[in-house]
Amino acid sequence: MSNDQHADLNQHFPSIWTAIVQEWTNAPHDGSTSGYPKLSAKQRGLIRQIKALALVNTVAVFTAPTRWAKEEIERTLAPQIRDVLDQKLGMHVIMAISEEEVGSADAHGTEHDSADTNTEHTERSTHSASVQHQHQREEQDYSGQGRTPSSQNAQEAGATSALQGEGAGGRQAGVGGKNHNGPSDDPQLFGLPSLASEESQRGEQQALDWSALPKNQERAGHKPAAPKSSTPVFGEDGQQIKKNPNYPRLNADYTFERFVVGSSNQFAAAACRSVAEQPAKGFNPLFLWGESGLGKTHLLHAIAHYALELRPEMRVMYTSTEELTNDFINSIANDTREAFKRRYRSLDMLIVDDIQFLEGKESTQEEFFHTFNALHQAGKQIVLSSDRPPMRLTTLEDRLRTRFEGGLITDVTSPDLETRMAILTNKAKHEKMMLPEDVKIMIAERYDRSIRALEGALTRVIAYCSLENQEMSVANAKIALQDILPDEVEVNPQVVIEAVAEYFDLTLEELTGKGRSKHLVYARQIAMYLCRELTELSLPKLGASFGGRDHTTVMYAERRIRESITEDKKTFDQVQELLTRVKSRARA
C-alpha cells in the first residue's frame, strides 16, 4: 500500500466503516451469499451503535454508547469485525473500542464530568479488546522495517512513539506519515482490486463502492465529531441501560462468599477482605501473587464487590494490565491523555490484574508510575496481582518494583486435598449437581495444581454422565477423564495444532490462517479449547500461536466448545479422541 493510499484510508475510515455497516447489516441473514459473517438480530443492533473515530497506523479506534454495548461487542462481535476489516481494507487491522465519553455539548457536561463517567475499565478474562498484545505481534512481524517519526507533527510523533514503545520494537511511522511501512506495499491491497480478488476466493461477495466516499471529508487537524451520548440504549431485558460511573464490570460469581478458603490462601483472603473493609489503612499497596489458575482474579473481584457493597459511592476500577495498556494507547490515538490521567487518578481504589504484563512497555510503565504515585500520596488503595513476586519482575523499572514492595506482599499456592474437595463441593452446589463423595475424592486427588483444571475436570465428568445417560460414579468419571488425567507430559500449542490439523485433514496454515469457512472455524475453536485445557499459557500467548489472533477470540472459542461438549455428543467424542492424540504426540 502506498503512502498516499494509506493517508486516504486514514482520512476516510469513518465513512468506510459506515458503508461496511450498511452492507453488513443489510446482507442476507444466513451470510451465505454476502461474504459477511452471519449476524443475529441483536448483533445487527449492536453493530449499528459502533462509531468509527480514526485509523491510527493499523489501530482502528471505535466507541460504543454504553459500557454494556462495549462489552457485548467485545464478547460477541470483535473477531468478526476484525476479519471484515482485514478483508475490506486489505491489511491487518487491530480493533480498539472504548466507552463513549459524555460530550462537551451536554447541558451540564464539563471536562471533569466526562472523566467521571468513565472511571472504570474492563477485565481481560471477560471479553476485552487486547490492542497491546496485537501490537506486540505486529511489531515483531515487521521488526526489520522501523522508521523514525516525522517531527512536523508533534501529536503524530507522540502517538507513534507510545504505540511502538508498547511492542517489541519495530515500526515507528507516523499516522499517515511518509515513512509508514504497512504489511505490504502492493497497491492492489487498497480499494477495489483487493476486494475483487477476495470475491474470486469467497464467492458472490459484494464489494464496497469506495468511489462513493466523500473527498476530503476531514481536513488536517480535525477529528470526527464525537457521537452523541444522549440516545437511550436498551439491554436484552428491554430496560434502559444507565451508566454508573462508580461500578466496574465484575464477575458476579467472584465474591468472598463463593471463595473457598484453605491453608493455601487463608492469609491472602484475609488481607483482601481487610483491604475492602478499610481501604488504604494498612496494606497499601496489596500485592497478590501466585501461579495461574489459583484464584487471584477471584480475590480481586471479591475486593471490588465487597468495597462497593460497604461504600456504594466509592470510585473503584478493576482492570487488567492489557486493558490498562489498551486504554493508554486509545488515549494517545484519541488525543485524550488528560482525560486518561483524570480517570485513573480520581479513583478511590485501583485494582490491576496481571501486572507482570507491564514488562517491556516503557511508555505504559512511565504513565503507571505517575498514576501509582498520585493515588498512593492521596491515600487511595492500590491492589495488584502477578504470577511472581515483585523481586522477580526483573524487567520492570526499579522504581516500580520498590513501590510494589512497599506494601503487603502475599501469595496463593496450590490448594491441599481438603481445600480441593471443598472447591468441588462448592461448584457442584452452585451448579445444582449431586456429587458423590467417592467421585469428589477421585477428582480432587488427581488435580492438585490448578483450581481451573480441577473445576474443568468436574465439568467434563458432569458432561459425560449427562450426554451418555450414565450414573455419576468413579468408573464413569475415570472414563470421562482418561485422556486428561494429569501426568508429566508437557503439551505446547504447536503439538495441539498439529494434532487437530491432522484430525480434520487441514494444513497448519489453514488452521492458523484467516479462513472463515465453517469447517475451519470449528476446528480452530477446538484447537484453542484444547490449548486452554492442556497448557498454562495466557490468552494473549495462545492467540499469538493461532496467527496472532486477539485474546478475546480464544476466550470465545473456549466458551463455545465448553458449551458444546455438554450438549453435543459428536463434539464431546471428537474432543476426547483429540485429547488422546495430543497426549500421544506429546509423549513422542
Instruction: Give pLDDT, residue 162.
Output: 41
3-212 matches 417-481 in fold = no
Q: For the chain, give the number of residues.
A: 588
Instruction: Give pLDDT, residue 376.
Output: 92
Task: Assign domain 493-587 one CATH number from 3.40.50.200, 3.20.20.100, 1.10.1750.10, 1.10.274.10.
Answer: 1.10.1750.10
Instruction: Give pLDDT, residue 32.
Output: 54
Q: What kind of fold does domain 417-481 have according to CATH?
A: Helicase, Ruva Protein; domain 3 (1.10.8)
Q: What kind of fold does domain 266-411 have according to CATH?
A: Rossmann fold (3.40.50)
* List of the chain residues with pLDDT < 50: 102-246
Q: What kind of fold does domain 3-212 have according to CATH?
A: GMP Synthetase; Chain A, domain 3 (3.30.300)
* Terminal-residue alpha carbon distance, the chain: 45
Q: Closest Cα partner for 51 from 93, 118, 90, 97?
A: 97
Residues 6+ apart with CB under 8 A from 190: 1, 2, 5, 6, 9, 89, 90
Rounded Cα–Cα distance for residues 366 and 92 (Å): 29
Each residue of 113-139: pLDDT tens digit?
333 333 334 333 333 334 344 444 333
Listed by start position, the domains of the chain span 3-212, 266-411, 417-481, 493-587
DSSP strand E in 372-420: where?
A: 381-386, 408-411
**Residue position matching grid coordinates 508510575:** 369
Residue-wise DSSP of 49-111: H-EEEEEETTEEEEEESSHHHHHHHHHHTHHHHHHHHHHHHTS--EEEEEEPPPPTTSTT--H
Instruction: Give pLDDT, residue 67.
Output: 76
Instruction: Give pLDDT, residue 323.
Output: 85
> Kind and range of the H or E element at 451?
helix 451-467
Torsions phi, psi for 471 (to 5 deg): -70, 155
Instruction: For residue 514, give the DSSP letter.
Output: S
Instruction: Give pLDDT, residue 485.
Output: 56
Q: Give me Rg for the CA atoms of the chain.
A: 24
Each residue of 303-313: pLDDT tens digit?
999 999 888 88
Residues 6+ apart with CB under 8 A from 62: 17, 50, 51, 52, 53, 95, 96, 97, 98
Strand, helix or coil for residue 327: helix
Q: Closest Cα partner for 494 from 442, 460, 545, 533?
A: 545
